[in-house]
Chains A and B, each alone.
Chain A
Amino acid sequence: MNPTLRRLSILGLALAVPFAANAADYKLGTGSTLGFSGKFQGERFDGAFGKFDAAISYDPANLAGSKFDVTVDVASAKTGNGDRDNALPTADFFDAGKFPKAHYVTTGFSKDAKGGVVANGNLTLHGVTKPVALNVTFNPQAGGARLSVAGTVSRLAFGVGSGEYKDTSTIPDAIEVNATLNLLPK
């Protein structure tokens, strides 16, 4: 490669990177958590999915090119209570035998009244697909970034809790979802 061509190619690369269609791509680092919280008989419980994976493309300056794609192994839910943990994968709740994976994929990003970023996407859970919005907090860090998302999901909209478990006086409908992802460059 002659010097002129090399300079041109470096220039071309320098010009191309800021205008790339996709934001920076990340993969999950260790210590990432995907949690959920609900109430049972008036008492809050906190749970977490032990197995999930996420492909994150995110750039606060390029929300149009950003994307979250998260897959969750619903049978990996643990809440610190043996009775509840045994019940969650059954047909009464997640029905993990029939619907082993939950999937969330963004369709776009917007800003709320306070200027915070909101991820809009579709959650497929228990065979039902519905839109779910998540508040996004993104903090670049040395060697990657930390991404936090939080939102509320109606468990009954997804049919999680069938039959008598639909009773919201014992198990309220609203389930808080929160994730803290340690992102590493892909």
Chain B
Amino acid sequence: MPLRSDATRWSTVAKTFHWTMALLILGNGAFAFWMDGLKPSLNKLNMFALHKSVGLTVLALFLLRVLWRFADRRPPHTPGPRWQMIAMHAVHALLYVVIVALPLTGWAFNSAHGYPLQYFKQFNLPALTGHDEGVANVLIVVHEYLFWFLLLLLLPHVGGALKHHIVDRDDTLRRMLPFGRAKRNTPTPPGDSA
């Protein structure tokens, strides 16, 4: 269980960040569509509070993940055609943007609507904006569309990983899998450590 990444695989920390956030974000998205259909009740308000708390957790994990990224090495990128490298970097950058924009737009919507923001019933967080229903109505649409955009970004992200695994038969996916180990000994090009 290496704490830091090496040339053949991602560290336990990096894998934990990746898969925990993947589960929380997708789970919270699916949860949001379910809770939206609940009839008005205190239970519904509590479910919304849970959705907000999970979203804030994602935001906190994102900040920790970025900090960790500065401290950690990473396995070299699997070599590929130039257009694939550009696409990969673009998708990763957009994923990061969406991961941070999703909770922030949710938080801003919450503030603009004048709702409280309590983290797992423990403490409250301040409003990002003043009370403005017009702004709130825009932000909730942006919040939702960001989630659809995230799913769109998963097509090249997951598709690329599967293509490496099935077509190229390399370790790109395996090195990020929980408990996965590099088995195929992909030759590592010198100097390709980001």
Name A170's contact: one of B42, B114, B123, B124 (CB within 8 Å): B42
What residues of chain B lie closer than 8 Å to A171, measured between beta carbons? 42
Task: For A42, give its contact among B43, B45, B121 (CB under 8 Å).
Answer: B121
Quick check: which of A4-12, A29-37, A161-169 contacts chain B, the rest being far away? A161-169
Name the A residues within 8 Å of B117 (CB-CB): 41, 43
Q: Could you say which residues of chain B place their CB within 8 Å of the CB of A43?
A: 116-118, 124
CB-based nearest B residue for A92: B42
CB closest chain-B residue, reference A167: B42
Please state if A42 and B42 are interface contacts (CB–CB under 8 Å). no
Per the bound structure, the CA–CA distance linking A3 and B168 in Å amounts to 123
Q: Evaluate contact between B42 and A165: CB separation under 8 angstroms.
A: yes
Tell me the bound Cα distance from A60 to B124 in angstroms.
43
Q: Does A81 contact B (CB under 8 A)?
A: yes
- Taking the closest CB of chain A, its distance from the CB of B61, in whole angstroms, is 22
Whether, in the assembled complex, B49 has its beta carbon less than 8 Å from a beta carbon of chain A, the answer is yes
Closest Cβ–Cβ distance, residue B36 to chain A (whole Å)? 15
Collect the chain A residues with CB atoms within 8 Å of residue B46's CB.
Answer: 167, 170
**0/1 per residue, A32-72, Cβ < 8 Å to B?**
00000000111100000000000000000000000000000
* B185 in contact (CB, < 8 A): no
CA distance A165 to B42 in the complex (A): 6
Q: How far is the CA of A170 from the CA of B118 in the complex (A)?
A: 10
Chain B residues closer than 8 Å to A81, beta-carbon distance:
114
| Cβ–Cβ < 8 Å partners of A164 in chain B | 41-43
CA distance A94 to B45 in the complex (A): 19
CA of A164 to CA of B41, assembled, Å: 8
Closest to B41 in A: A164
In the complex, A80→B131 CA distance in Å?
10
Q: Render A147-173 as a binary contact track against B, CB cut-off 8 A, 1 for contact.
A: 000000000000000001101011100
Which residue from chain A places its CB closest to the CB of B123 in the assembled complex? A42
In the assembled complex, how far is the CB of residue A38 from the closest CB belonging to chain B, in whole angstroms? 12
A41 touches B42 (CB 8 A): no
Give complex CA distance A57, B30 in Å: 61
Q: Whole-angstrom distance between the alpha carbons of A43 and B118 in the complex? A: 8
Contact mask for chain B residues 64-87; partner A; CB cutoff 8 A; 1 contact, 0 none? 000000000000000000000000
Interface string of A89-107 (1 = CB under 8 A from B): 0000000000000000000
Interface residues of A (CB under 8 A from B): 40-43, 80-81, 164-165, 167, 169-171
- Chain B positions near chain A (C-beta within 8 angstroms): 41-43, 45-46, 49, 114-118, 121, 123-124
Q: What would be 20 A-B contacts, judged by CB atoms less than 8 Å apart?
A: A40-B116, A41-B45, A41-B49, A41-B115, A41-B118, A41-B124, A42-B121, A42-B124, A43-B116, A43-B118, A43-B124, A80-B114, A164-B41, A164-B43, A165-B42, A167-B42, A170-B42, A170-B45, A170-B49, A171-B42
